[in-house]
C-alpha cells in the first residue's frame, strides 16, 4: 500500500504543509500556559477554523492540534488520563475539514516531544517513550490521521521512539528536528545526520527534515546539508516566519508574505519536497507560499550566500561554521514552550 504522501507527491511534485498552530491559536484567544489540545473539546470550532483557513490558503497537508498530546505534556494540565480522547478528537476535527476540501488534503497527526529527557540524561527509558507515543498515535489513528508527523524533536532517540510507536500502530511516519542550537539540535544532531535517526527500525520514514528552529535563512542552510547528504530522500522544511523578536512580553515574527514566498522558491531549489511554515506563519503567509510554489520552476541549487542575500543573515551558527548572532536564551525558551 502506497502512503498518502508519496501518492500526492507523485501527482504534485512538491507539497505545501500548513503554517503555525500555536501562533494562530494565540491570535484566536489561547492564553499563554493554556494547553491547545484542550481546545479540541472546549473550542472545536476554533480548531476547525484553523484547519479550514490553511486549506483555503492551499495547504496539501494539515497537522492535527495534538503537538503536546502525550501523557507527559498533558499531565501539566491534569489531562494525562485523556490522551486517547484528546488525540482522537484532534484527528477527527482535521479529518472533517480535509474530507470536504474538494481535493486531496492529508491529515497528519502531530506528535511533539514529551518534554522529558531520556536515560541517561533523564529518567525516561526508551520503552516508556515508545509507550507514551503509542498511546497518542493510537488516538490519532482512530480519529482519522493518515500519517504520524513527529516534529520539533531535539533528541534522536526520542524521535526514534516515536517512529517505533508509529510502526507498531501500523502508521507511516515522518520526523523533523529543530536545529536551533548553533546549527544543530539541542542534543547535538547535525542536519546531515537526520537520515540516520530511524536506522535499525523495521520501517523507514516517508520523509525527514527540519521544523521550527530559528529563522528562515537558518533552516534553508540546514536544508542544503540534508539534501546534500541524501539527494533522493523526501526532505521536509517547516521554517519559522522570519526571526522571533520580543516586543515587550509579546513575541513577533519578522517574516512578510513576500519573504516566505521567496523562502518557498529557495526551498524548492534546495531540493525540499514538503514545505510549510512554523511559528509565526499566518494564513496570509501560507497563501503567498502556495502562489510561490505554483508559479515556480525548480532552479539552480542556491549557496548559503545566495540564501543570506535574499532572506537575511543567519541568526545562528551553522553546523559547520562559526559566527552568527545567535538567538537570545529567552526567545528560545519561549519558542520551545509555545512552538509552532
Contact positions toward Zn ion, by CB under 5 A? Answer: 212, 278-279, 340
Q: Which long-range contacts (CB under 8 A, 24 or more apart) does 231-235 make?
A: 231/271, 233/195, 233/207, 233/208, 234/5, 234/6, 234/9, 234/174, 234/206, 234/207, 234/208, 234/273, 234/274, 235/207, 235/208, 235/209, 235/271, 235/272, 235/273, 235/274
Q: Which CB atom, from 47 or from 278, has the smaller least distance to Zn ion?
A: 278
Of 47 and 331, which CB lies nearer to Zn ion in the complex structure?
A: 331
SS3 letters across 222-288: HHHHHHHHCCCCCEEEEECCCCEEEECCEEEECCCHHHHHHHHHHHHHCCCCEEEECCCCCHHHHHH
- As measured in angstroms, the least distance from the Cβ of 38 to Zn ion is 20
How far apart are CB 22 and Zn ion at their closest, in Å?
7
Which CB atom, from 261 or from 278, has the smaller least distance to Zn ion? Answer: 278
- Give the residue with the Cβ less far from Zn ion, 130 or 159: 159
**Which of 243/278 has CB closer to Zn ion?**
278
Residue 244: all three cell numbers together: 522571533
Q: How far is the CB of 95 from Zn ion (least distance, A)?
A: 24
Q: How many whole angstroms separate alpha carbon 209 and alpha carbon 238?
A: 8
* Residue 92 vs 180, nearer CB to Zn ion: 180
Find the shortest distance in angstroms from Cβ 289 to Zn ion: 15
CA angle 30/338/188 to nearest 5° reads 170
Q: Which residues of 321-337 are buried (b: 16+ CB within 10 A; e: fewer)?
A: eeebeebeeebbebbbe
Q: Is 203:147 a contact under the CB 8 Å cutoff?
A: no
Cell of 206: 516517508
- Closest separation between CB of residue 151 and Zn ion, Å? 9
Nearest to 14 by CA among 223, 281, 225, 256: 223
**Nearest to Zn ion of 79, 278 (CB atom):** 278
Least spacing, CB of residue 244 vs Zn ion, in Å: 9
Closest to Zn ion by CB, 275 or 279: 279
Binding-site positions:
212, 278-279
Cβ at position 280, least distance to Zn ion in Å: 8
Residues with Cβ within 8 Å of 238's Cβ and at least 6 positions away in sequence, in order, are: 17, 151, 176, 209, 210, 211, 212, 274, 275, 276, 277, 278
Residue ranges for the known binding site for Zn(2+) are 212, 278-279
- How near is the Cβ of 240 to Zn ion at its closest, in Å? 5
Amino acid at each position: 500500500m502506497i502512503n498518502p504522501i508519496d501518492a500526492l507527491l507523485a501527482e504534485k511534485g512538491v507539497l505545501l504543509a500548513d503554517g503555525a498552530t500555536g501562533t494562530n491559536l494565540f491570535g484566536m484567544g489561547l492564553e499563554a500556559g493554556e494547553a491547545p489540545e484542550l481546545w479540541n473539546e472546549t473550542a472545536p470550532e476554533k480548531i476547525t477554523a484553523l484547519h479550514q483557513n490553511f486549506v483555503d490558503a492551499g495547504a496539501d497537508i494539515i497537522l492535527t492540534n495534538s503537538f503536546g498530546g502525550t501523557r507527559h505534556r498533558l499531565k501539566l494540565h491534569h489531562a494525562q488520563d485523556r490522551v486517547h480522547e484528546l488525540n482522537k478528537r484532534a484527528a477527527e476535527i482535521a479529518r472533517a475539514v480535509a474530507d470536504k476540501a474538494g481535493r486531496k488534503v492529508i491529515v497528519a497527526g502531530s506528535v511533539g516531544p514529551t518534554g522529558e529527557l531520556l536515560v541517561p540524561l533523564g529518567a525516561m527509558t526508551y520503552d516508556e517513550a515508545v509507550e507514551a507515543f503509542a498511546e497518542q498515535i493510537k488516538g490519532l489513528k482512530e480519529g482519522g490521521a493518515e500519517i504520524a508527523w513527529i516534529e520539533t524533536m531535539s533528541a534522536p532517540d526520542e524521535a526514534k521512539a516515536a517512529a517505533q510507536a508509529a510502526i507498531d500502530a501500523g502508521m507511516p511516519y515522518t520526523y523533523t528536528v529543530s536545529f536551533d542550537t548553533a546549527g544543530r539540535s539541542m542534543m547535538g544532531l547535525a542536519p546531515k545526520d537526520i537520515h540516520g535517526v530511524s536506522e535499525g527500525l523495521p520501517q523507514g520514514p516517508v520523509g525527514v527534515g527540519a521544523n521550527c528552529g530559528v529563522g528562515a535563512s537558518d533552516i534553508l542552510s540546514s536544508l542544503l546539508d540534508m539534501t546534500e547528504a541524501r539527494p533522493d530522500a523526501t526532505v521536509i522544511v517547516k521554517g519559522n516566519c522570519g526571526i522571533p523578536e520580543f516586543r515587550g512580553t509579546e513575541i513577533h515574527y519578522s517574516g512578510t508574505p513576500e519573504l516566505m514566498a521567496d523562502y518557498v522558491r529557495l526551498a524548492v531549489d534546495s531540493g525540499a519536497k514538503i514545505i510549510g511554515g512554523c511559528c509565526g506563519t499566518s494564513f496570509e503567509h501560507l497563501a503567498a507560499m502556495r502562489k510561490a510554489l505554483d508559479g515556480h520552476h525548480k532552479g539552480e541549487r542556491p549557496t548559503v550566500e545566495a540564501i543570506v542575500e535574499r532572506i537575511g543573515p543567519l541568526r545562528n551558527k551553522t553546523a559547520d561554521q562559526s559566527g552568527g548572532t545567535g538567538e537570545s536564551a529567552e526567545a528560545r525558551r519561549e519558542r520551545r514552550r509555545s512552538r509552532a
